[in-house]
Amino acid sequence: MRNLFLKAIGITLLALLILQVSAQDIKWSVNKKARPYVARGMGYIMNNENEMAYPEFQKAVTLDPNATVALYYLATITTGNVRQNYSQRTMQSLEGKTDGEKLFFSSLDTTLSQKQRADLYEKLHVMYPGSVLFSGYYSFTRSSDETRFGATQEMIRQFPNEGFAYNNLGYLYMNYKKDMRMAKQSFEKYIALYPDGCNAYDSMGEYYLNNGDYPNARKYYQMALEKYPFYTNSIIKLEEISKVEKARTTGNN
């Protein structure tokens, strides 16, 4: 699955990189107790595992009601009145936050155009060149497939052990370059770096489904659900495959 557990090498490195204190990375204003939950939640977000991120961020704001970054992500992965509530709480918790944090949280503004949002992430990428998080947002919001492809390749050169980057690259190879060999290789690398996450197997399922290989697509979607049985995309895709296979069986009778 596209537009990111504890034992996974990829998520461990991601969590450390996201929360590290360095001149080239952002330091999130979060208290010590909430910090591990924020790290895990952000790792899930980068690997498109929002269902798993939600309880981590909820726990973080229980431990630190002013953990703006947790409130921000709770706003981005919810809808309706719940999203509105978390958005308001995000804005109300900005006191004492750094300029970089405030700039990032301003992306909650629903009136931003696509270009304004892309420019915002580019500015953050320049401000914090050591941030894998902002590198990811920067590469994903480039204006064309070709510039997204180049930015993703650069992100991998800078962060070669981050699985989610290979996931993004795999989709670019599959949907933009139409290079199925390299797409599969990228998804295999993602699985190798993030073996305990569900999205890595879901993405490989997507690869096989895109190529009309329903047995292997089913296999990998089921593997995703073995990692996390409530992963929405894998559940939906398995239902779609079952309908196609049933229709084929009916048509052959």
1 within a domain of the structure (yes/no): no
- In angstroms, rounded to a whole number, what is the distance separating the alpha carbons of residues 42 and 14? 8
Residue 4 lies in a domain: no
Is residue 249 scored above 90 in pLDDT? Answer: no
Structural domain of 210: 197-253
User: Are residues 252 and 190 both part of a single domain?
Assistant: no
Is 221 found in the same domain as 151?
A: no
**In this predicted structure, what is the pLDDT of residue 85?**
97
Amino acid (one-letter) located at 231? Y
Cα radius of gyration (the chain): 19
- CATH code, domain with 224: 1.25.40
**Averaged pLDDT of the chain:** 91
Determine the length of the chain. 253
User: Is residue 214 a contact partner of residue 244, using CB atoms and an 8 Å limit?
Assistant: yes
Tens-place pLDDT, residues 157-184? 999 999 999 999 999 999 999 999 999 9
Whether residue 66 is found in the same domain as residue 167: yes
Same domain, 40 and 138: yes
Q: What pLDDT does 252 receive?
A: 66
The model's pLDDT over 77-136, given as tens digits with 9 standing for 90+, comes to 999 999 999 999 999 999 999 999 999 999 999 999 999 999 999 999 999 999 999 999
- Domain assignment present for 26: yes
* pLDDT computed for residue 242 by the predictor: 95
97 and 82 within one domain: yes
If you write DSSP's letter for every residue of the chain in order, what string do you get?
A: -----TT-HHHHHHHHHHH---TTS------TTTHHHHHHHHHHHHTT-HHHHHHHHHHHHHH-TT-HHHHHHHHHT--HHHHHHHHHHHHHT-TT--HHHHHHHGGG-TT--HHHHHHHHHHHHHH-TT-HHHHHHHHHT-SSHHHHHHHHHHHHHH-TT-HHHHHHHHHIIIIII--HHHHHHHHHHHHHH-TT-HHHHHHHHHHHHHTT-HHHHHHHHHHHHHH-TT-HHHHHHHHHHHHHHHHHHHHH-
- Inside any domain, residue 202: yes
For residues 85 and 121, state if they share a domain.
Answer: yes
Q: In Å, what is the CA distance from 237 to each residue of 55, 172, 194?
A: 24, 20, 21
Residue 2 lies in a domain: no
Matching residue, tokens 């993030």: 194
Residues 6+ apart with CB under 8 A from 24: 128, 129, 130, 131
Say whether both 174 and 112 belong to one domain. yes
> For 194-204, how does the pLDDT look when each residue is reduced to its tens digit (9 = 90+)?
999 999 999 99
Judge if 188 and 203 occupy the same domain.
no
* Tokens, residue 21: 């204190």
As a whole number of angstroms, the distance between CA 182 and CA 217 comes to: 18
**Confidence check: pLDDT of 10 > 70:** no
Instruction: Quote the number of domains for the chain.
Output: 2
Q: Which of 149, 177, 196 is the last residue of a domain?
A: 196
pLDDT per residue as tens digits for the range 184-193: 999 999 999 9
218 Cβ contact list (under 8 Å, min separation 6): 205, 238, 241
Of the candidates 196, 216, 235, which is a domain's last residue?
196
Q: Is the pLDDT of residue 251 over 90?
A: no
Instruction: Say if 16 falls within a structural domain.
Output: yes
In whole angstroms, give the CA distance from residue 150 to residue 54. 31
206 and 112 in a common domain: no
Q: Do 29 and 152 fall within a single domain? A: yes
Kindly state whether residue 251 falls inside one of the protein's structural domains.
yes
Q: Which of 196, 211, 243 is the last residue of a domain?
A: 196
Residues 126 and 54 in one domain: yes
- In a domain, residue 156? The reply is yes
Q: Are residues 180 and 123 in the same domain?
A: yes
Q: What is the pTM of this model?
A: 0.87
